[in-house]
Amino acid sequence: MAAPNATEHAAKRRKTRQDSGSITIGGKTISFAGYLAPSQPKKQIEASSGPKPILPSSTHEQQSNSTLKQAIDQTTKPGLPDKKGTYNKSQSTNGTGNQALLKTRRELPIWQHQDEIRTVVKRIGTDVIVIVGETGSGKSTQVPQFLYQEPWCKRHKVKLPGRQEDGYVGGMIAITQPRRVAATTLAHRVSTEAGTPLGKGRPDGLVGYSVRFDHQVPRGARIKFLTEGTLLQELLRDPYLKQYSAVVIDEIHERSLDVDLLAGFLKQILSGDKTERGGIPLKVIIMSATAEVGVIQEFFGSGATPGTEKASNVEVLRIKGRQFPVTISYEPRPVADLQDALLKKIFKIHVEEPLPGDILAFLNGQEDIEAAQRLIEEYATTLASNVPKIIAVPLYGQLSIEAQRLAFQPARSPMTRKVVLATNIAETSVTVPGVRYVVDSGKSKVKQYRPRLGMESLLAKPISKSSAVQRAGRAGREGPGKCFRLYTEEAFDAMQGSDLPEILRNDVLGAVLTMKARGIHDVLAFPLIDAPETAAIEMALLHLHFLGALNDDGTITPAGETMARFPLSAPLGAVLLAASGPEFDCVLEVIDAISCLTSGDDIFIHVQSEEGAEEVEEHRKDLQRREGDIITYLTTMQLYAAENSDRIEWCKKRKINIRNMKQALNIRRQLRGMCWKEKLFSEMPPPDPQPFTPLSPDKAEAVIKCFLRGFAMRTAMLAPDGSFVTVNGKHVVAIHPSSVMHGQKKEAIMFLEHVYTNKNYAKKVSAIQATWIAEALGR
């Protein structure tokens, strides 16, 4: 919290205190009238009518959305088996499941629909069933349990084309999730409800999960939770998903790129030749939390894909959710100054609305959040003594875990209202408990790829109607709530219905490679719910050709097949393959760099204060290299791996994100394993820790030249005026301040990311020589 002294006079300029009965912000007076005095009963709202909140752990939306929340919850859930699958013996394993939890399950809205769901899914001729279930309906945990004992869900011994002996088809239900935490916690929950253990190799387990770096699928598992990406990878090995009787696609409304690809592949399986599955049909269950499933219905139901027999039959089931009512109010006129309007609204709520009831405000990003926090703290110091205190807590993805934890904890002192200032992280990814009031700025920052420029932008844009509804819903999780929209009703009406699906916002390079690796020759004809522009796909095809993933005739090369198997972007896959060639021979070094580059957010934590930044710079001296960011990342990994006393302390000192660094080490292990299998290097390195030897300049040059094989198009030359001009497109780019190359002038640079925010920025920058670009381009 900012020291009040430092900002006191600034606060006084904007705010004058009149008497204890009102507060004036920016010229507007807010009366304390109607305020619940501290002497009155605190728990006024609790007696209100409305559905009874179900157990927090019985809907996955509440239990699984946040790693942090999960971490907190895990300490308070004695009933759950631990990761190794140790299990409470008192729980039933006779197939009827955990009796104690059965009562909770029966109370879920979806419970009454189980016969209906079974009947529709069983019906011959129905291939696709769409289940619309609002938040809290229990669909994610219950639907697979309703279905796995059905006769059609058995494993079938069948004759498969091109095989002498009989093969097996079906027996398992796959259920996909967009996020790892959701997949793992749902699996834990469902295995507990079923009363069977979770864990690799367990013979008696019914439920399992499979996510990157973590596969816990018991032998004989019938229900398997996985991330969408994992199922896509399985599709590369098993194009007809022969191990599954049904695939449940959950949270399709989020429209991730992976889910759109999955939908396309499923449509092809449904409308294609069943002989590859020995005549056993695949049931597809699509689940959405939003009612707008018209496009989904249309997609699976309409026109057979080219060269196939028929369109699928689609049935839609709608299930009520459990949500308290939320009153929505709008601004009468468009607001001129969003920050100002936000502040007024927050204090208006604070003085007019009863406690308890925290406020959740949705803002654009870190910058706005920090500014709002400062202002709230300034005003808070001038509140009358008989008014409850107010504290502002920021919540955004880049915050440390400890800082995020504050947003989930109740205010420490009594009679204090907490205001959580959040990005759209609080819209779907995490649930902040205790919220009764939502303030919605109506905007969020969106990343959008511009295929023709080969760059992306990150700009604040109006949110969609469904986002606005989702934000408002956050006020009704624990009781009736209120949502204050800082925009007019007309502005709401003018918002687009839903967010642009990721496939229309992202580079489709990886998507096109996935299709090619799955044998889709004509990618323009691949069935997609929303097809990207033809130009975007053509750019991706050209790019893949440049990377060596496609032949001149558009068919995939062996290198392309390998790249598709790597858990990396196509350019990074190309870099890895280049590194394995005799010319460069630096696979292990490139893996070290790539591991750090791809471990989620930046491993280097950004320090705001100037003094802090200087201190960190001092401690990071041993990591930083003048060759640029790639070699700096590489050195960081090597020093971290060489560290044999205290890695956590080592990270703390250098302000390195410990979680991301651990993840980087994980990725390094996975990539080493995969490259070993692909025979990309000949000798397994000795185990860590090994003594550190700085990378020689020659080796550094080789590593950077490997990266040029993937990123030759992302290069810029120094212009006479000192700016950098991109080789491809001739745009002026500035080196991002997060780069070790920031403020330096080199003959030419290569950058791995190109983002437009308030400037055209090159990120992850390395110094190169102009002749290297020609070399990489002219192969």
Partner DNA sequence: GAGCACTGC
Q: Which residues bind DNA (CB under 7 A)?
A: 178-181, 210-213, 215, 227, 229-230, 233-234, 236-237, 256, 364-367, 396-398, 423-425, 429-430, 444-447, 458, 502, 510, 565-569, 598, 600, 602, 606, 608, 610, 613, 670, 736-738, 742, 757-759, 761
Longest dimension (CA), the chain: 90
Interstrand relation of 748-756 and 172-177 (parallel, antiparallel or unpaired): unpaired
Find the shortest distance in angstroms from Cβ 600 to DNA.
4
Q: Residue 312, Cβ neighbours under 10 Å: how many?
A: 18
- Our CB check for DNA shows the closer of 28 and 759 to be 759
Find the shortest distance in angstroms from Cβ 144 to DNA.
19
Q: 3-state SS string over 313-324? A: CEEEEEECCCCC
The DSSP line for 668-698 is HHHHHHHHHHTT--SSPPPPSP----PPPHH
Q: Kindly report the length of the chain.
A: 779
Find the shortest distance in angstroms from Cβ 202 to DNA.
18
DSSP, res 215: E
Find the shortest distance in angstroms from Cβ 65 to DNA.
9
- Our CB check for DNA shows the closer of 413 and 609 to be 609
Find the shortest distance in angstroms from Cβ 602 to DNA.
6
- Are the C-beta atoms of residues 137 and 320 closer than 8 Å to each other? yes
The two tokens of residue 35 are 């305020």
- Our CB check for DNA shows the closer of 554 and 737 to be 737
Q: Residue 30, Cβ neighbours under 10 Å: how many?
A: 17
- Our CB check for DNA shows the closer of 210 and 290 to be 210
Q: How far is the C-alpha of 21 from the C-alpha of 35, rounded, in Å? A: 10
- Our CB check for DNA shows the closer of 381 and 666 to be 666
- Our CB check for DNA shows the closer of 316 and 623 to be 623
Find the shortest distance in angstroms from Cβ 606 to DNA.
3
The DSSP line for 268-282 is HHHHS-GGGGTT---
- Are the C-beta atoms of residues 200 and 218 closer than 8 Å to each other? yes
- Give the helix/strand (H/E) hosting 771: helix 770-777
| Residue 767, C-beta contacts closer than 8 angstroms, at least 6 positions apart | 626, 627, 628, 741, 744, 746, 747, 748, 749
Report the phi/psi class of residue 560: left, alpha or beta, with left for phi > 0 and alpha for psi in -120 to 50: alpha
Find the shortest distance in angstroms from Cβ 160 to DNA.
19
The DSSP line for 352-365 is HSPSS-EEEEE-SS
Find the shortest distance in angstroms from Cβ 458 to DNA.
5
- Our CB check for DNA shows the closer of 145 and 424 to be 424
- Our CB check for DNA shows the closer of 398 and 769 to be 398
Find the shortest distance in angstroms from Cβ 43 to DNA.
32
- Our CB check for DNA shows the closer of 121 and 419 to be 419
Give ∠ CA 738-740-744 in degrees, rounded to 5.
110
Find the shortest distance in angstroms from Cβ 613 to DNA.
5
Q: How far is the C-alpha of 653 from the C-alpha of 674, rounded, in Å? A: 32
Q: How far is the C-alpha of 259 from the C-alpha of 256, rounded, in Å? A: 5
Find the shortest distance in angstroms from Cβ 55 to DNA.
23
- Are the C-beta atoms of residues 128 and 252 closer than 8 Å to each other? no
- Our CB check for DNA shows the closer of 215 and 626 to be 215
Find the shortest distance in angstroms from Cβ 61 to DNA.
14
The two tokens of residue 362 are 């949705």
Which amino acid type is present at position 334?
P
Find the shortest distance in angstroms from Cβ 36 to DNA.
33
Q: How far is the C-alpha of 195 from the C-alpha of 93, rounded, in Å? A: 5
Name residue, tokens 């490997």: 706
- Our CB check for DNA shows the closer of 45 and 528 to be 528
| Residue 494, C-beta contacts closer than 8 angstroms, at least 6 positions apart | none
Coil, strand, or helix at residue 702?
A: helix
- Our CB check for DNA shows the closer of 440 and 502 to be 502
- Our CB check for DNA shows the closer of 17 and 215 to be 215
- Are the C-beta atoms of residues 72 and 432 closer than 8 Å to each other? no
